[in-house]
Amino acid sequence: MPVTRSELLFLCGGAIAGAVAVKNYDKLKAKAAPILAAAGTAVGDAYTAAARRVGERVEAMQDAMAEASQNSTTAGDTEPSTTPHFSTANGTTA
């Protein structure tokens, strides 16, 4: 598969950029450290907020399920209805 001029230029440019970055790694690291630290803090805060929201929603869902379960058990403690639920649907009597 032949390589076009455009691909060759990108390949050479990437190699040159990599060589320059390796040669000046200490300088680049010193200049980029504050930016990366601030970005890391922002990402950490966003992750914490998202995890808190998910936790709140899970807790709300669990509360709703527990409440529904509690309501169904308290409704089951009362007198059962005298009207048949399924016998009228299929034509049978109790």
Can you give the residue range of the structural domain that contains 38? 30-65
pLDDT of residue 84: 56
pLDDT of residue 28: 87
Domain count across the chain: 1
Report pLDDT digits (tens) over 74-87.
Answer: 765 555 555 555 55
pLDDT of residue 3: 84
Hunting for tokens 């899970």 — which residue is that? 58
Question: 76 exposed, middle or buried (CB, 10 Å; 0-12, 13-18, 19+)?
Answer: exposed
- 18 within some domain: no
Rounded to two decimals, the pTM is 0.41
- 4 within some domain: no
